[in-house]
Amino acid sequence: MSSAKSTRATKKSGKPQTKVRSSGAAFEGRYAERQGAGGETHQTVQGGQEILTTQQGTPVSDDQNTLRQGARGPALIEDFHFREKIFHFDHERIPERIVHARGYGAHGFFETYKPLTDLTRADIFQRAGEKTPVFVRFSTVAGNKGSADLARDVRGFAVKFYTKEGNWDLVGNNIPVFFIQDAIKFPDLIHSVKQEPDRDFPQAASAHDNFWDFISLMPESMHMIMWVMSDRAIPRGFRFMEGFGVHTFRLVNAKGRSTFVKFHWKPKLGMQSVCWNEAVKINGADPDFHRRDLWNAIQSGDFPEWELRLQTFDQKFADSFDFDVLDPTKLIPEEILPATPVGRMVLNRLPENFFAETEQVAFMTQNVVPGIDFSNDPLLQGRNFSYLDTQLKRLGSPNFAQLPINAPKCPFHHFQQDGHMAFLNPKGRANYEPNSWGAKGGPRESPEHGVTSLPEEAEGPKARLRAESFADHYSQARQFFVSQTAIEQKHIADALVFELSKVERPDIRERMVSHLVNIHPDLANAVAKGLGLSKLPKAANAALATNTKLAPSDALSILKNPPGSFKGRKLGVLITDGIDEALLVALEEAAKKEGATVERIAPAVGGVTAANGTLIPAHHKIDGGPSVLFDAVAILASEDGAKALLALSPARDFVADAYAHYKFIGFTAAAKSLFAKAGLPSKPDKALVPLEKRADAKDFLTACRQLRFWDRPDGA
């Protein structure tokens, strides 16, 4: 941001910049002295609390903010406390990633729609129709490498573009905001959500005291918490989730003009999530559900596709907001600033070796190309500093960029040499620069073609500050909540009740509800009631009052943006001996026309014998193919076959779960006996579709385009 922008908060308030502490009174108090065991004097916080120090014993004055030039200026490399803290955090695990350990990747290409020369000199955006190779890695954040896919968690969405002017890494998530505003708090965030250190559980779960203790002391996390407690945190698959660059970046054109930008990935198949009860059961039935879905889609030629869209804006537009565009806990609603399509990404090839590619790929936010630049977002500044450390520790050598998955696909030249496992050392006599060996002396810098940072001025005192413009922690959290449908709002409340019910300390539960009071009374009351609180806690102290006038944004809701298609989805058909083969064929043909796949489930994996004597193989045995693995189900049963299913508890669960998860269910007349056994109401709803003749198959698949029948009263 410009220097003029850095004083915006001062001009609005008429007061100088002040520090805004994120954790309330957690670090407040006057200092007292006590004598140490060796006679030395130690400082303690009033009440006997020890003072935080560096590993060298240096007392820490501020553990909430990175040292920067001015409240909204760039981070300073001399910040030894941040450096030590992030350095130690980056090196805590070996060899798996500390965060995003469980991931899955695929190769593909990015195709540019039209030149963006007015916005950026980045080569990838210069020619219409040009295809750039990419490698994408999806992941969960909190779980270890062996955790299950359907944890309630943020999903990583990292894209490596192999452009003609070097590699560009867009390292984002499936949620457009983040928990914290300053990277100095990242180790604390991840420590809190990981397994508690004295017991090493829970795994890949945020439903425990440490996480909610931390979050309830960090009002800046409230917007992100709304997203993580929503259905966005339990996606149906990688193919059905959005991706975001999270931060505000810059585009710089050939004339040096800068434009702010936010990056969005929109899935062509539309968004889709699962119910929490469904996620729990999927993790038990198939902990590799997301991996398998991506693998099967690409293997079958149903290539996943996303559209890249940009929100671009100038300084004047940025100044028009009450919030700060450098704050990574904030977003710009698409109704205010539409996201413009600029290209598409298609994933069409799987790795040949998981370890060599998906595990060894090294994404770093600092990997940019000419025409793409950073903003002073304090979280982004810290990520730029941190990632190189992380990759060095994890991959064990400064030469990790020489691994094929990380190496540029364009020509590259440098003087870096030696080190562990170097196999691309400089050739010739000169291994330094400048030198006087002429053309044989190796590469030279190029001010005309190289990356140049925007010559942005920074001003202000060198201090650990948080700008006042970062102080509104509740308004956009409320905006997200009111943007959801009633069903989605209930899911958020239910998720909070579930998570906080796992918290042992009542004071943490109440403290968290006190933040919800600032977000929305309906949400606070629902959670308080679900937790059995005797009364609603007093609202948490707020640095700024909640702005209740922010308009809802339909773009923030999954259910307000239905795909309108069953394409890419999966139909599970439970079959028995004696069925009409023609009806099964009709279902499979109708699904194929929709762009969906069909998998057959039977009492035995060997299959069933149709009424005409045809042997029909199955993909799953009934207890290995529960209905949670499918987007819609059908039960094709003969009279005798239905009687046999009644004796199988997995068959009853198949129907009961499909109903409880609001799925469309097609059925033959004989299958109705199974409905009663599974506890379904005697009066069928509109999502229970009879299958009596071949023509019914098309009608059933058309109905399935709605994905779920939310009007069902007794769902999960």
Please say whether the beta carbons of 398 and 92 come within 8 A. no
For the chain, the domain total comes to: 4
Domain boundary among 556, 591, 624: 556
Q: Would you state the pLDDT for residue 420?
A: 86
Q: Which domain CATH number covers 386?
A: 2.40.180.10
Half-sphere exposure of 461 (CA within 13 A, CB side): 9
Catalytic residue flag (residue 435): no
Please say whether the beta carbons of 66 and 382 come within 8 A. yes
Give the confidence band of 508 by pLDDT, cuts at 50, 70, 90. very high
Whether residue 232 sits in one domain with residue 351: yes
Q: Would you state the pLDDT for residue 714?
A: 60
Phi-psi region of 521 (alpha: psi -120 to 50; beta: other; left: phi over 0): alpha
Q: Would you state the pLDDT for residue 706?
A: 97
Q: If 0-12 CB within 10 Å is exposed, 13-18 middle and 19+ buried, where does residue 695 land? A: exposed
Please say whether the beta carbons of 143 and 101 come within 8 A. yes
> Does residue 608 form part of some domain?
yes
Backbone angles phi, psi at 228, to 5 degrees: -70, -30
Please say whether the beta carbons of 659 and 680 come within 8 A. yes
Q: At what angle are helices 649-660 and 276-285 packed, to 10 degrees?
A: 150
Burial readout 58-90 (b: 16 or more C-beta within 10 A, e: otherwise): eeeebbbbbbbbbbbbbbeeebebbbebbbebb
Task: Take residue 417 and report the two structure tokens written for it.
Answer: 């040499």
> Does residue 367 form part of some domain?
yes
Residue with tokens 């918290």: 503
> Does residue 408 form part of some domain?
no
Whether residue 512 sits in one domain with residue 551: yes
Catalytic residue flag (residue 264): no
The DSSP code sequence of 220-250 is GGHHHHHHHTSGGGSBS-GGG--EE--S-EE
- Alpha-carbon span 424 to 431, nearest angstrom: 13
| pLDDT tens for each residue of 230-265 | 999 999 999 999 999 999 999 999 999 999 999 999
Whether residue 663 sits in one domain with residue 586: yes
| pLDDT tens for each residue of 160-212 | 999 999 999 999 999 999 999 999 999 999 999 999 999 999 999 999 999 99
Long-range contacts of residues 285-290, Cβ cutoff 8 Å, at least 24 apart: 285/624, 285/626, 285/628, 285/629, 286/629, 287/147, 287/148, 287/149, 287/150, 288/149, 289/149, 289/150, 289/237, 289/629, 290/104, 290/138, 290/149, 290/150, 290/235, 290/237, 290/238
Whether residue 209 sits in one domain with residue 334: yes
Give the confidence band of 47 by pLDDT, cuts at 50, 70, 90. low
Q: Would you state the pLDDT for residue 96?
A: 85
Whether residue 40 sits in one domain with residue 102: no
> Does residue 140 form part of some domain?
yes
The H or E element spanning position 659 is helix 649-660
Q: Would you state the pLDDT for residue 1?
A: 39
Check whether 651 has a pLDDT greater than 50: yes
Please say whether the beta carbons of 647 and 673 come within 8 A. no
Q: Would you state the pLDDT for residue 155?
A: 98
Compute how many other C-beta atoms are within 10 angstroms of the C-beta atom of residue 426: 16
Check whether 45 has a pLDDT greater than 60: no
Q: At what angle are helices 506-519 and 209-216 packed, to 10 degrees?
A: 40
Q: Which of 173, 367, 399, 518 is catalytic?
A: 173
Domain boundary among 556, 590, 613: 556
Percent of the chain with pLDDT over 90: 78
Task: Take residue 208 and report the two structure tokens written for it.
Answer: 């425990």
> Does residue 249 form part of some domain?
yes
Q: What is the DSSP letter of 59?
A: B
- Alpha-carbon span 587 to 582, nearest angstrom: 9
Cis amide leading into 434 (omega within 30): yes
Whether residue 549 sits in one domain with residue 578: no
Whether residue 589 sits in one domain with residue 527: no
Measured CA to CA in angstroms, residue 653 lies from 523, 601, 623, 685 at distances of: 32, 13, 9, 19
- Alpha-carbon span 687 to 709, nearest angstrom: 6
Give the confidence band of 12 by pLDDT, cuts at 50, 70, 90. very low
Backbone angles phi, psi at 362, to 5 degrees: -120, 105
Whether residue 629 sits in one domain with residue 551: no
The DSSP code sequence of 91-107 is TSSSSS-SSS-SEEEEE
Cis amide leading into 95 (omega within 30): yes
Domain ranges, residue 510:
472-556
Length, in residues, of the chain: 716
Whether residue 661 sits in one domain with residue 544: no
The H or E element spanning position 134 is strand 131-140
Q: Are strands 258-267 and 620-621 parallel, antiparallel or unpaired?
A: unpaired
Sheet with 597-602: list strands edge to edge: 620-621, 597-602, 570-575, 632-636, 665-667, 688-690
| pLDDT tens for each residue of 441-478 | 888 888 888 888 889 888 899 999 999 999 999 999 99
The H or E element spanning position 697 is helix 694-703
Please say whether the beta carbons of 17 and 71 come within 8 A. yes
Q: 463 pairs with which residues across the strands?
A: 68
> Does residue 713 form part of some domain?
no
In the chain, the amino acid numbered 258 is S
| pLDDT tens for each residue of 279-301 | 999 999 999 999 999 999 999 99
> Does residue 102 form part of some domain?
yes
In the chain, the amino acid numbered 308 is L
Q: Which domain CATH number covers 662?
A: 3.40.50.880
Whether residue 181 sits in one domain with residue 96: yes
Nearest to 65 by CA among 192, 184, 217: 184
Alpha carbon dihedral 429, 432, 436, 440, in 10-degree steps, equals 40
Check whether 94 has a pLDDT greater than 70: no
Domain boundary among 556, 588, 610: 556
SS3 string, 248-316, reads: CEEEECCCCCEEEEEEEEEECCCCCECCHHHHHHHHHHCCCHHHHHHHHHHHCCCCCEEEEEEEEECHH
Whether residue 194 sits in one domain with residue 114: yes
Check whether 6 has a pLDDT greater than 90: no
- Alpha-carbon span 524 to 517, nearest angstrom: 5
| pLDDT tens for each residue of 567-584 | 999 999 999 999 999 999
Task: Take residue 153 and report the two structure tokens written for it.
Answer: 């968690």
- Alpha-carbon span 222 to 229, nearest angstrom: 10
| pLDDT tens for each residue of 342-369 | 999 999 999 999 999 999 999 999 999 9
Q: Which domain CATH number covers 500?
A: 1.20.1370.20
Whether residue 39 sits in one domain with residue 98: no
> Does residue 711 form part of some domain?
no
Percent of the chain with pLDDT over 70: 93
Task: Take residue 609 and report the two structure tokens written for it.
Answer: 């014998």
Check whether 42 has a pLDDT greater than 50: no
Q: Which of 100, 473, 520, 661 is catalytic?
A: 100
